[in-house]
Structure 1
Amino acid sequence: MPQTVTALTGSCVQIPCTFNISNFEETRDKAKSVNGIWLKNKSQFHHGDSFIAFNSSKNIINGFSDIQMTGNLSERNCTTVFYNIMMNHSDVYYFRLEMEPAFKATFNPDKDGSRKTVLITVKDSPQPPELKRTDLKAVMEETTVSLSCSAEAPCPKHPPTISWTNIPESAHITTQLQEKPDKTLSVFSNMTFKASYMDHKKNISCTATYPRKTSNDSTVETTVTLRVLFPPKETHITIDPSASVSVNTNVTLTCKSKASPSGEMNYTWYKRGQEMPIAQGKKISFIVTHNNTGSYFCIAENKHGKQSSAEIQLPVEGENGFSRHVIYGCTGGLLAFVLLSAVLFYCMRIKTSSQAGVIGRDQATDKNSDMVAIYANSSIAISKKSEKKETDDLHYGEIDFSKLQTADMTREHSNSGPQTEYAEIQLTGRNNKNQKC
């Protein structure tokens, strides 16, 4: 038997047990029955203070809701399961074998000091799972890593479940119930994956959940931190100040990179167009002038490799001594001028249209006034004319017909000289009366 078994309250506990005595087969064949007994606290079976927890011969169960001997005593297997373990069940237990009538004995400590007993320790919370790695040291990138998580299964009928958190994408997991050297059972979960630089310093957790007859299941976990060795990754440059840089600005360029180990990093700075490095170290600072404008890049290196950053152009603004602020200012001023001109033109056009409307209305008014005056004068003239016609009804006139009647008149003139002719003329007035003159 294992010397110690840890049980969880509200669950069960299995005691793996085997035995061996001299001439067992011969004694077994002569025996009428083979029975197993579990004693609590004391090994003396007939002692008055002895506590018999279980006796298979009489099916006696004391102090427990249920005890079952799952092993076959005829095959020297005395494995037993104690159900619904409580805190008061913590104690030392002895196994006694009785083969009537030839053999009756309780397994006690041997002369060499080894104990033939089991100590059942009952706890309210389970032990955290055990998390192991095949290689406890840091592993190189792209190598295979194996993690093993084991959780004790004191109650094989209700073993704990194991889950993983924060696992790598390439992880492969297998889980099974296995027997340990002391014959107790545990749930083993193995995870294998290919190490990536993104797994460096990652905390991977193994969680064991124990079902039991309580309000809540018990959950415990264990965490391990990975260490992965890899060359520089994601190398890039940051600039301070981060805003737009112009000529005569004091700037600081910083070369950043992910690598392991990070304490052994070297940084080298280059300027495009120059073969030799211009500086060493993680940071460089200088004042931007027309002479040092251009493209810069850095190379990060450790013992596993190196990587170059993308180029950064300096200055961001102020190329050839002409600031972008000036360009933006001129552009903004030009746009403002165009917008203002358009507004002024629109306002003048509206004003002109308004004045034209007023003048048109004035001219129309004057014209109407003139027309009224003309019509008034005409009315007066017509009235006066009418009055005159009405007053002077008779008009006299002298008409010379000499040109119209030449032949007749010649004859008349030759006889009697010039003579006056009178004619009757009809005039039609407003009163449509015939008048004679």
Structure 2
Amino acid sequence: MSGLQIVSFIIIFSSVLLQTHSADGVVYSAVLPHTVTALTDSCVLIPCTFIISTFEEKLQKTKQIYGIWLKKTPLFGKDESSVVFNSSKNIIQGFRHIEMIGNLTERNCSTVFYNIMMNHSDPYYFRIEMEPNVFRATFNTNPHNASDSSKTVRINVTDSPQPPELIFSPDVSKSVMEGTAVNLICSAEAPCPKQPPRLSWTYIPKSANIITQLQEKPDKTHSVFSSMTFNASYMDHKMNISCTATYPRNISNNTTVNSTVMLRVMFPPKETRIIIKPSASVTVGTNVTFTCQSKASPSNNMTYTCNE
């Protein structure tokens, strides 16, 4: 795969805006994806940003700012087992490693959870603490129902990633004319940008040009995209083109998934030839068979003429 580049990619997405008013009237909100799908024995990035009213003013009064992640419940302080990460006490609980890659002073709470296991499937809540006692809050949209996890981020863990998506232009599952410029785009989710899947093609036409990139989407999650462009040739007719995504894992074997499309090309007669049987010298009176062969698509409309 060619070198990965991080670029912007525009799609329609859905995220959660967690907006709440504190007792002193402070408005605070966080933007998180509804769900992130993680692969076992890999890592997952939770993109996270937040807004707190008069944040810059509060930041001037703050000596330390901490990030906390809670599992299953937004309630903090009643059950320490719900705390999976607390940067103020260097607590990492239930995970081998958690890294907050975002800068909290820049309202970025993005976090990477490493070595994901099946029992990590749960809703997670982000909490911020600005000390000494400047501002403390858990970003929960429903203060009247602390058990409501419908508007926070949920990690869904799977052993098998989804097959890559194939998008093509024009529709190669139908017939395209020989010489037509064809563009195939293969995309695979990259929940762990530090270990993105590797995309490969099983059939590459001679004229193909391939560009592969790691792209950040508007919700700050990532996908790997591989674009293959070529001019359709009669030699590509009925060829199966597969895109394979190989996901690296830390301990277990890598996982591969693929998607396939058959290319159908329309072209006039090619490689026309005459076959003579027997091909060696014959005596007068021997029966000789002449067979005319040609490749074409569609082939049911071909006619043959014989000229002496």
- Normalised by the length of structure 1, the TM-score is 0.56
1:290-330 Cα shifts (integer Å, max 9, x gaps): xxxxx4xxxxxxxxxxxxxxxxxxxxxxxxxxxxxxxxxxx
- Inter-partner Cα distance in structure 2 for 1:144 and 1:19: 45
- Inter-partner Cα distance in structure 1 for 2:141 and 2:285: 90
Matches within 5 A, 1:422-433: none
- What is the Cα deviation at residue 66 of structure 1? 0.7
Matched letter for residue 73 of structure 1: L
- Per residue, is there more helix in 1 or in 2? 1
In structure 1, what is the equivalent of residue 43 of structure 2? 12
In structure 2, what is the equivalent of residue 130 of structure 1? 165
Q: Over the residues paired in the alignment, what is the CA RMSD in angstroms?
A: 2.9
In structure 1, what is the equivalent of residue 248 of structure 2? 211
- What is the Cα deviation at residue 245 of structure 1? 11
In structure 1, which of residues 10, 33, 37 is the aligned counterpart of residue 68 of structure 2? Answer: 37
Matches within 5 A, 1:224-373: 224-236=261-273, 256-263=293-300, 265-270=301-306, 272=307, 295=308
Secondary structure, aligned partner of 1:226 = strand
Deviates more, 1:47-56 or 1:143-152: 47-56
Residues paired across the two proteins, number:
269
- Inter-partner Cα distance in structure 2 for 1:16 and 1:92: 14
Matched, 1:202 2:239: yes
State whether residues 197 and 247 of structure 2, in contact with CA within 8 Å, keep that contact through their aligned partners in structure 1: yes
Closer, same or farther in 2 for the Cα pair 1:90/1:47, shift >3 Å? same
Matched, 1:23 2:60: no
Greater RCO, CA 8 A, separation 6+:
2
Closer, same or farther in 2 for the Cα pair 1:19/1:230, shift >3 Å? same
Closer, same or farther in 2 for the Cα pair 1:214/1:125, shift >3 Å? farther
In structure 1, which of residues 108, 116, 128 is the aligned counterpart of residue 140 of structure 2? Answer: 108
**Structure with bigger gyration radius:** 1
- What is the Cα deviation at residue 207 of structure 1? 1.6
Matched, 1:75 2:106: yes
Closer, same or farther in 2 for the Cα pair 1:43/1:114, shift >3 Å? closer
Matched letter for residue 11 of structure 1: S
Matched letter for residue 14 of structure 1: L
- Inter-partner Cα distance in structure 2 for 1:56 and 1:8: 25
- Inter-partner Cα distance in structure 1 for 2:204 and 2:274: 31
Closer, same or farther in 2 for the Cα pair 1:72/1:115, shift >3 Å? farther
1:307-358 Cα shifts (integer Å, max 9, x gaps): xxxxxxxxxxxxxxxxxxxxxxxxxxxxxxxxxxxxxxxxxxxxxxxxxxxx
Matched letter for residue 64 of structure 1: F
Unaligned runs of 5+ in 1: 273-294, 296-437
- Inter-partner Cα distance in structure 2 for 1:127 and 1:27: 44
- Inter-partner Cα distance in structure 1 for 2:283 and 2:112: 78
State whether residues 255 and 267 of structure 1, in contact with CA within 8 Å, keep that contact through their aligned partners in structure 2: no
In structure 1, which of residues 101, 119, 140 is the aligned counterpart of residue 154 of structure 2? Answer: 119
Secondary structure, aligned partner of 2:258 = strand
- Per residue, is there more strand in 1 or in 2? 2
Closer, same or farther in 2 for the Cα pair 1:49/1:56, shift >3 Å? closer
State whether residues 36 and 46 of structure 2, in contact with CA within 8 Å, keep that contact through their aligned partners in structure 1: yes
Matched letter for residue 224 of structure 1: V
State whether residues 145 and 193 of structure 1, in contact with CA within 8 Å, keep that contact through their aligned partners in structure 2: yes
Closer, same or farther in 2 for the Cα pair 1:114/1:200, shift >3 Å? farther
- What is the Cα deviation at residue 268 of structure 1? 4.4
State whether residues 14 and 79 of structure 1, in contact with CA within 8 Å, keep that contact through their aligned partners in structure 2: yes
- Inter-partner Cα distance in structure 2 for 1:136 and 1:115: 39
- Inter-partner Cα distance in structure 1 for 2:109 and 2:213: 24
- Inter-partner Cα distance in structure 2 for 1:28 and 1:262: 74
In structure 1, what is the equivalent of residue 200 of structure 2? 163
- What is the Cα deviation at residue 194 of structure 1? 1.6
Matched letter for residue 203 of structure 2: N
Secondary structure, aligned partner of 2:52 = coil
Closer, same or farther in 2 for the Cα pair 1:224/1:84, shift >3 Å? same
Secondary structure, aligned partner of 2:89 = coil
Matched letter for residue 85 of structure 1: I
In structure 1, what is the equivalent of residue 92 of structure 2? 61
Secondary structure, aligned partner of 1:139 = strand
Unaligned runs of 5+ in 2: 1-31
- Inter-partner Cα distance in structure 2 for 1:214 and 1:53: 22
- What is the Cα deviation at residue 27 of structure 1? 2.1
- Normalised by the length of structure 2, the TM-score is 0.77
- What is the Cα deviation at residue 108 of structure 1? 2.0
Matched letter for residue 165 of structure 1: T
